[in-house]
Amino acid sequence: MYYPEPISKLIDSFTKLPGIGPKTAVRLAFFVLNMNDDDVMDFAKSLVNAKRELTHCSNCGHITDQDPCAICQDTSRDSSVICVVQDPKDVIAMEKMKEFNGRYHVLHGAISPMDGIGPEDINVPDLINRLKDEAVEELILATNPNIEGEATAMYISRLVKPSGIKTSRIAHGLPVGGDLEYADEVTLSKALEGRRDL
């Protein structure tokens, strides 16, 4: 099908987004053409600014516009407990629950030998460094309840065990094969409550 170049470029851009197939991309592109100029400018600016102004916290790896992030800077939080998650979206899911008052560590992925992703490819070395510098007593391993998430939790648990830091795994109530970010707050809260020692 023929589109003028600016439209086909816009369609291509939408196709790069997750969950957007070719048909939806066409629909969105034409929707944008019908939006008013100010809304389109705001939309474009939000995309560019989000990318430009956000960085990863040098301590915990969470997305932030200040380094260290607000959570790492918050002295009222319990620094003896670190909740280890795969993705910044998981931090946001945990924060929405409003029950966890420790700190986080974002791995940005999970160990997956099938895809050639080892511990060095995700944020594990930084976690180990944090354990040397910070007085951490417990690691809550809240990686996703699927094969890669379980493998990552087991790996970290074994790595940390000799140091005497307690490791626990959230499990209860979370659907196997699911993503942490999609769990509702009650399920996530139960999962945290029902964590078991590793």
- In the complex, minimum distance from the CB of residue 80 to Zn ion, in angstroms, rounded to a whole number: 16
Q: How far is the CB of 169 from Zn ion (least distance, A)?
A: 22
Size of the site for Zn ion (CB under 5 A): 7
- Angle of CA points 114, 118, 123, to nearest 5°: 135
Count the helices and strands in the chain (H runs, E runs).
8, 7
Binding residue for Zn ion (CB under 5 A) from 29, 72, 82, 192?
A: 72
Among 69, 82, 170, 188, binds Zn ion (CB under 5 A): 69
Strand order in the sheet with 103-106: 103-106, 81-85, 138-141, 166-169, 196-197
CB of 192 to Zn ion, least distance (A): 19
Rule CB under 5 A: is residue 91 a binding residue for Zn ion?
no
Cis amide prior to 68 (ω within 30 degrees): yes
Phi, psi of 167 (to 5 degrees): -120, 140
- Give min distance, CB of 71 to Zn ion, in A: 5
d(CA 23, CA 74): 45
The residue from 10, 26, 29, 57 that contacts Zn ion (CB under 5 A) is 57
Per CB under 5 A, 82 contacts Zn ion: no
Least separation in angstroms between CB 72 and Zn ion: 3
Q: Which is nearer to Zn ion, 63 or 151 (CB)?
A: 63
Q: Is 160 exposed, middle or buried (0-12, 13-18, 19+ CB in 10 A)?
A: buried
Residue 59 binds to Zn ion (criterion: CB under 5 A): yes
The residue ranges that bind Zn ion (CB under 5 A) are 57, 59-60, 62, 68-69, 72
